[in-house]
């Protein structure tokens, strides 16, 4: 009997401990959310711990995450953090039930991790960022202590009757305390959400009331022949809702356009300048079609999109600030763009000032930038991968040198300089598709931003390369659609594509991984013709 009784006691202890621990964690998160909502939504514990994990993720693992989870990688990370937190809480709860002080101390210790993570984030604004995690930890520790006290066996031990007294825990006391705690934690969390949403509402209103000026230099009309009518091909212009998104932001920054400003400073700048959004919008704007690509895009991958951007020419602003490119004796060879969330991206000053349409964009496909794509202002440099040019939520431009400063991704093993590599992608037929024998339309897009695409060829199995039909070129900064009428015989076939850029260079067949400066090799698709 003693065996059964002690088994029951263990079971009961584990269940109580787990509940106490989970409730303590729930309270900690609720209170942290409330404090973050009041102080700074971006300093919430899950956001800062997740951010700190992202900051420390090696390039290869980040690449794996993007490959495996795609744009859900952030959700997976957050779920992982919550699951880990739950696991630790269950342990701390079991400990706290027997040793209240030790359990509470464990929760406090755990809170320090969150507080420390907050302070190491690149966008940390000071000690205040540790406050949500610290407050949450104190609340969690108190909760565990109170719950353990409430559950403590009463002085008069129930006889070993096997009924409620098997473990001796005061279940009624525990349940009452647990109910009160759960209600309080939920209210704190809800109130916190309310406050952080309210902070975002100013930003949403500022975006809704923003009227984009007409460009002084409109984009040349897209030639009619640039858009092929092939079912399944990537549309020439990528709608905003379909445009890929790659960034480290667990919570999309909601910047209020009314209080936003941009600073330009550093080497060769005669006097630090600050611009408000209205000041930028009052300048002559350019409108351009530019295809953006992520360095993490695998051969044949989805992280590429083409949009019509409206913005301020960046070179003009730099020239006004006294900046000269290195080729004209300028002291700075690297332009470091900083975002409100502390991201840093470095572009060659030479590229930004060589006459290409580098811009501070405010509009994307006829509307203000969506929040996820950098509202109110982001940078774009045609021809460079996003991580060395396309700073979203930009707020600071610093002129420096490549020797003096390594931006965020360069500190994580990615290359300092990264022009976009020539790539062609097959959109149709889909991999492992089963087209019917006869004429099959092979089609896709090819890009070599700022060099342009002059030729696309298709090869079936080991047959000779055949020229694909190229859609009309919009500009050298945009991708180009292509198609090829293939007379398909039944059986399994591998279709491969390669592009030639405006300099005459044929896309290399040498395979390279995305790290450190972009994937290379040729896209092929296997199909089974029936």
Ligand X SMILES: Nc1nc2c(c(=O)[nH]1)N[C@H]1C(S)=C(S)[C@@H](COP(=O)(O)O)O[C@H]1N2
- What residues line the site for ligand X (CB under 6 A)? 243-248, 292, 294, 339, 341, 343, 373, 386-387, 390-393
> Mask of contacts with Mo ion, 285-324, x by CB under 5 A?
---------xx-----------------------------
**Nearest Cα residue to 85 out of 142, 30, 37:** 30
Give 247 or 351: the residue with its C-beta nearer to ligand X: 247
246 binds Mo ion (CB under 5 A): yes
Give 20 or 299: the residue with its C-beta nearer to ligand X: 299
* Alpha carbons 447 and 220: distance in angstroms, whole number: 19
- What residues from 43 to 72 belong to the interface with Mo ion (CB under 5 A)? none
Min dist CB 430 to ligand X, Å, is 23
Give the containing element (helix H, strand E) for 199.
Answer: helix 171-208
Residue holding tokens 């009428």?
A: 485
Give 27 or 347: the residue with its C-beta nearer to ligand X: 347
- For residue 447 the two structure tokens come to 């890009």
Min dist CB 59 to ligand X, Å, is 12
Give 219 or 384: the residue with its C-beta nearer to Mo ion: 384
Given Mo ion, ligand X, none, residue 482, with its beta carbon under 5 to 8 Å by kind, binds: none
Give 294 or 442: the residue with its C-beta nearer to ligand X: 294
Neighbouring-strand partners of residue 305: 292
386 binds Mo ion (CB under 5 A): yes
Give 343 or 460: the residue with its C-beta nearer to ligand X: 343
**Are 313 and 358 spatial neighbours (Cβ–Cβ below 8 Å)?**
yes
Given Mo ion, ligand X, none, residue 169, with its beta carbon under 5 to 8 Å by kind, binds: none
* Alpha carbons 53 and 73: distance in angstroms, whole number: 12
387 binds Mo ion (CB under 5 A): yes
Min dist CB 248 to ligand X, Å, is 4
Sign of CA dihedral 465, 469, 472, 477: negative
Min dist CB 386 to ligand X, Å, is 2
* Alpha carbons 90 and 81: distance in angstroms, whole number: 14
Give the Cβ contact number of residue 211 at 10 Å: 6
Min dist CB 414 to Mo ion, Å, is 9
Per DSSP, 512 falls in state B
Min dist CB 489 to Mo ion, Å, is 40
Q: What SS3 state is found at 31? A: helix
Neighbouring-strand partners of residue 433: none
* Alpha carbons 346 and 384: distance in angstroms, whole number: 11
**Nearest Cα residue to 139 out of 157, 114, 118:** 114
Residue holding tokens 């774009």?
A: 380
Given ligand X, Mo ion, none, residue 390, with its beta carbon under 5 to 8 Å by kind, binds: ligand X
Instruction: Kindly compute the dihedral angle of the four CA atoms of residues 293, 296, 299, 304, in this order, to the nearest 10 degrees.
Output: -20
* Alpha carbons 337 and 328: distance in angstroms, whole number: 22
State which residue has the least CB distance to ligand X. 386
SS (H, E, C) 347-360: EEHHHHCCCCCCEE
Exposure string for 355-374, b = 16+ CB within 10 A, e = fewer: ebbbbbbbbbbeebbbbebb
Stretch that binds Mo ion, among 161-169, 246-254, 435-443, 517-525 (CB under 5 A): 246-254
Given ligand X, Mo ion, none, residue 288, with its beta carbon under 5 to 8 Å by kind, binds: none
Give 171 or 412: the residue with its C-beta nearer to ligand X: 412
Give the Cβ contact number of residue 2 at 10 Å: 7
Q: What angle do CA 511, 446, 71 make, to 5 degrees?
A: 75
Min dist CB 123 to ligand X, Å, is 9
Given Mo ion, ligand X, none, residue 244, with its beta carbon under 5 to 8 Å by kind, binds: ligand X
Give 139 or 391: the residue with its C-beta nearer to ligand X: 391
Exposure string for 333-346, b = 16+ CB within 10 A, e = fewer: bbbbbbbbbbbbbb
Given ligand X, Mo ion, none, residue 391, with its beta carbon under 5 to 8 Å by kind, binds: ligand X
Residue holding tokens 């592009």?
A: 499
Given Mo ion, ligand X, none, residue 357, with its beta carbon under 5 to 8 Å by kind, binds: none
Given ligand X, Mo ion, none, residue 245, with its beta carbon under 5 to 8 Å by kind, binds: ligand X
Min dist CB 61 to Mo ion, Å, is 16
Given Mo ion, ligand X, none, residue 338, with its beta carbon under 5 to 8 Å by kind, binds: none
Min dist CB 412 to ligand X, Å, is 11
Give 24 or 343: the residue with its C-beta nearer to ligand X: 343
Give the Cβ contact number of residue 172 at 10 Å: 11
Give 178 or 295: the residue with its C-beta nearer to ligand X: 295
The residues that touch Mo ion, with contacts defined as CB under 5 A, are 246, 294-295, 386-387
């Amino acid at each position: 009997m003693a065996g059964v009784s002690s088994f029951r006691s263990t079971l009961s202890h584990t269940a109580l401990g787990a509940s106490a621990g989970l409730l303590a964690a729930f309270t900690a998160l609720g209170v942290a959310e409330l404090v973050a909502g009041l102080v700074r939504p971006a300093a919430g514990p899950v956001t800062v711990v997740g951010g700190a994990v992202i900051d420390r993720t090696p390039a290869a693992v980040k690449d794996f995450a993007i490959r495996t989870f795609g744009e859900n990688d952030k959700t997976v990370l957050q779920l992982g953090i919550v699951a880990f937190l739950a696991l630790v809480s269950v342990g701390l709860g079991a400990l706290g039930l027997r040793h209240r002080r030790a359990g509470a101390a464990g929760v406090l210790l755990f809170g320090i991790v969150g507080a420390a993570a907050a302070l190491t984030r690149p966008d940390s604004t000071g000690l205040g960022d540790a406050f949500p995690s610290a407050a949450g930890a104190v609340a969690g520790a108190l909760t565990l202590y109170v719950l353990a006290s409430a559950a403590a066996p009463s002085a008069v031990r129930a006889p070993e009757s096997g009924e409620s007294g098997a473990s001796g825990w005061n279940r009624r006391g525990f349940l009452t305390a647990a109910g009160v705690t759960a209600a309080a934690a939920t209210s704190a969390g809800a109130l916190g959400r309310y406050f952080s949403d309210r902070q975002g509402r100013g930003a949403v209103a500022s975006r809704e009331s923003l009227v984009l000026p007409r460009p002084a230099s409109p984009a040349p009309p897209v030639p009619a022949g640039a858009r092929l009518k092939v079912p399944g091909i990537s549309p020439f212009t990528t709608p905003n809702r379909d445009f890929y998104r790659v960034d480290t932001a667990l919570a999309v920054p909601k910047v209020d356009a009314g209080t936003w400003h941009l600073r330009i400073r550093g080497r060769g700048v005669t006097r630090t300048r600050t611009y408000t959004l209205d000041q930028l919008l009052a300048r002559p704007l350019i409108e351009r079609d530019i295809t953006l690509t992520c360095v993490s895009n695998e051969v044949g991958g989805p992280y590429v999109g083409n949009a019509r951007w409206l913005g301020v020419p960046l070179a003009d602003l730099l020239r006004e600030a006294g900046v000269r490119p290195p080729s004209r004796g300028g002291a700075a060879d690297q332009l470091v763009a900083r975002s409100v969330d502390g991201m840093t991206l470095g572009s060659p000053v030479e590229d930004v000032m060589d006459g290409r349409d580098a811009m501070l964009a405010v509009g994307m496909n006829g509307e203000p930038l969506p929040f996820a794509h950098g509202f109110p202002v982001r940078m774009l440099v045609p021809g460079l991968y996003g991580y060395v040019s396309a700073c979203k939520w930009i707020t600071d431009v610093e002129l420096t040198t490549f020797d003096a400063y390594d931006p965020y991704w360069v500190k994580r093993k990615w290359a300092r300089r990264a022009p976009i590599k020539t790539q062609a992608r097959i959109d149709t037929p889909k991999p492992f598709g089963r087209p019917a024998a006869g004429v099959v339309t092979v089609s896709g897009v090819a890009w070599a931003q700022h060099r342009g695409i002059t030729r696309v060829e298709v090869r079936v199995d080991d047959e000779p390369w055949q020229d694909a039909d190229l859609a009309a070129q919009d500009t050298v900064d945009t991708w180009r659609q292509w198609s090829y009428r293939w007379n398909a015989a039944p059986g399994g076939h591998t279709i491969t594509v390669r592009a030639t850029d405006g300099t005459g260079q044929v896309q290399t067949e040498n395979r390279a991984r995305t790290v450190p400066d972009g994937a290379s090799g040729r896209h092929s698709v296997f199909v089974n013709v029936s």
